[in-house]
């Protein structure tokens, strides 16, 4: 199908578009932007830089996608990129910045993510697939968010933190350490309360896998052991399902440390 470009939209000479692209009134698209098939850009949205947007993605009014990184070291001549996958939704006033030279030059967003109004993705972040960012969910630079994670509204995540697979962070949280996969976290600073049991059941996790993961969480967060000792005990005592293995790998590779437990360890746990 032919593209539908509103006559008031401003399209730069280097912009490339696929088929059936729609651009609304007063949108500005400039620089080396590439829009895939069936992309929609709403009124007054701004896209720039070396930015690629995957097919089926919808960018709502007043979103700013592909802007310079908010980093004092960045130079206007630095060729850094933003890569966005397919079927994402960027609601009103969402901002996503390109990478920095020091950070590898790339901000990456996978497929099927929802960014609600005023969410922010800073330079050099990596977001996986099927994630949800509620209103004003905010990533500082170099943050990694794994698949199917949920970031609550008004939540701020510190530079270089990681958010694990299927983790859920409650609203108004302050995340300063890594959020373990499959966890339910909230607070300022954010703490681990439990497994994200509802999310895991909705994803089809079996009761046996849930049981092994729950035991691993008990040892990791409520045994009173140091993290290395807890990881060693999990390896010895808990069946290594795919989920338990991922949790262990995540804990071992953590540079900032994991969010702490919301409950004090007791002799009964």
Q: What is the pLDDT along the chain (269 residues), one digit of tens a residue?
A: 899 999 999 999 999 999 999 999 999 999 999 999 999 999 999 999 999 999 999 999 999 999 999 999 999 899 999 999 999 999 999 999 999 999 999 999 999 999 999 999 999 999 999 999 999 999 999 999 999 999 999 999 999 999 999 999 999 999 999 999 999 999 999 999 999 999 999 999 999 999 999 999 999 999 999 999 999 999 999 999 999 999 999 999 999 999 999 864 333 33
Residue 106's domain comprises: 4-142
Nearest to 119 by CA among 87, 147, 88: 88
Cis ω before 178 (30° cut-off from 0): no
Residue 148 lies in a domain: no
**Quick one: 135 and 205 in the same domain?**
no
Q: What is the DSSP string of 189-201?
A: TEEEEEE-HHHHH
Dihedral of alpha carbons 164, 167, 172, 178, sign: negative
In this structure, the chain runs to a length of: 269
Residue 265 lies in a domain: no
pTM for the predicted model, two decimal places: 0.95
Residue 147 lies in a domain: no
**Quick one: 108 and 10 in the same domain?**
yes
**Quick one: 10 and 138 in the same domain?**
yes
**Quick one: 16 and 128 in the same domain?**
yes
Specify burial of residue 151 (Cβ count, 10 A radius: 0-12, 13-18, 19+).
Answer: buried
Cβ neighbours around 105 below 10 Å, total? 17
Structure confidence at residue 150 (pLDDT): 98
Q: Is 139 helix (H, G, I), strand (E, B) or coil?
A: strand
CATH number of the domain at 100, please: 2.160.10.10
Measure the CA–CA gap between 22 and 3, rounded to whole angstroms: 6
Structure confidence at residue 263 (pLDDT): 66
Residue 171 lies in a domain: no
Structure confidence at residue 1 (pLDDT): 83
Pairing label, strands 174-175, 156-157: parallel
Catalytic residues: 123-124, 141
Identify the domain boundary among 142, 161, 184. 142
Tell me how many domains the chain contains.
2
Task: Please say whether the beta carbons of 182 and 197 come within 8 A.
Answer: no
């Amino acid at each position: 199908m032919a593209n539908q470009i509103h006559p008031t939209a401003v399209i730069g000479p280097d912009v490339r578009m696929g088929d059936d692209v729609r651009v609304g009134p007063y949108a500005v698209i400039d620089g080396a932007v590439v829009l895939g098939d069936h992309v929609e850009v709403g009124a007054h949205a701004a896209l720039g830089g070396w930015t690629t947007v995957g097919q089926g993605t919808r960018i709502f009014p007043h979103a700013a996608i592909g802007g310079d990184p908010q980093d004092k070291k960045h130079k206007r001549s630095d060729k850094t990129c933003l890569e966005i996958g397919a079927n994402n939704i960027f609601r009103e006033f969402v901002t996503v910045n390109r990478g920095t030279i020091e950070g590898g030059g790339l901000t990456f967003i996978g497929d099927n993510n929802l960014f609600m109004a005023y969410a922010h993705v800073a330079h050099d972040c990596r977001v996986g697939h099927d994630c949800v960012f509620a209103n004003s969910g905010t990533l500082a630079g170099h943050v990694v968010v794994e698949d199917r994670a949920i970031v609550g509204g008004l939540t701020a995540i510190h530079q270089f933190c990681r958010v694990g697979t299927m983790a859920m962070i409650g609203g108004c949280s302050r995340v300063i350490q890594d959020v373990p996969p499959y966890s339910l976290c909230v607070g300022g600073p954010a703490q681990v309360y439990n497994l994200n049991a509802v999310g895991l059941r909705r994803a089809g996790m079996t009761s046996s896998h849930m049981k092994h993961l729950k035991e691993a969480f008990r040892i990791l967060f409520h045994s009173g052991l140091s993290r290395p000792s807890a990881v060693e005990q999990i390896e010895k005592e808990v069946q290594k399902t795919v989920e338990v293995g991922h949790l262990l790998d995540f804990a071992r590779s953590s540079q900032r440390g994991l969010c702490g437990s919301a409950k004090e360890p007791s002799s009964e746990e």
